Amino acid sequence: MTTEWDGLPDNVKKFMTALDARQGARAITVFTADAVVTDEGHDHSGREEIVVWLTASVNESEYTYTTEFTGVTATGTSVDVTQHLEGNFPGGVVDLHYRFTLDGALINRLVIEP
């Protein structure tokens, strides 16, 4: 099922909003204790590793960029959010998929990839 921003689960919205505001570490509470995030081919397991990844990827990034929500598809416990990014990173433009797997209201798995 395709939905709009307002139809996203609250914790997915909280995570995406924190990323856009460059305050990723404030979103750690949306993850289960044993959650796994895969970004750029690397796994970050558990809240401790995820908060380190969040801090480094949004607060300490050498790149500046803008993001635009472009869509979402949700089925069962899976939510796929698409964002368009433009900035001074290599390539300058990318459409990223944030593929969430939910465990109840919390995020248990997140894979970020083009």
The least confident of 7-21, 48-62, 74-88 is 48-62
Q: CATH for 2-113, among 3.40.50.300, 3.30.457.10, 3.10.450.50, 1.20.1250.20? A: 3.10.450.50
Q: How confident is the model at residue 82 (pLDDT cuts 50, 70, 90)?
A: very high
- Looking at 48-92, which runs of residues are DSSP E strands? 65-75, 78-87
Greater pLDDT, 65 or 93:
93
Q: Residue 61 pLDDT > 80, yes or no?
A: no
Q: How confident is the model at residue 20 (pLDDT cuts 50, 70, 90)?
A: confident
Q: What are phi and psi of 92, to 5 degrees?
A: 75, -25
Long-range pairs, 111-114, Cβ under 8 A, ≥24: 111/37, 111/38, 111/39, 112/37, 112/38, 112/39, 112/40, 113/38
Q: For residues 83 and 114, is the Cβ–Cβ distance under 8 A?
A: no
Q: What is the pLDDT of residues 23-47, one digit of tens each?
A: 877 889 999 999 999 999 999 999 9
Q: What are phi and psi of 36, to 5 degrees?
A: -130, 130
Domain segments of the chain as ranges: 2-113
Q: How confident is the model at residue 64 (pLDDT cuts 50, 70, 90)?
A: confident
DSSP 28: G
Give residues with Cβ within 8 angstroms of 42, minimum separation 6.
none
Q: How confident is the model at residue 2 (pLDDT cuts 50, 70, 90)?
A: low
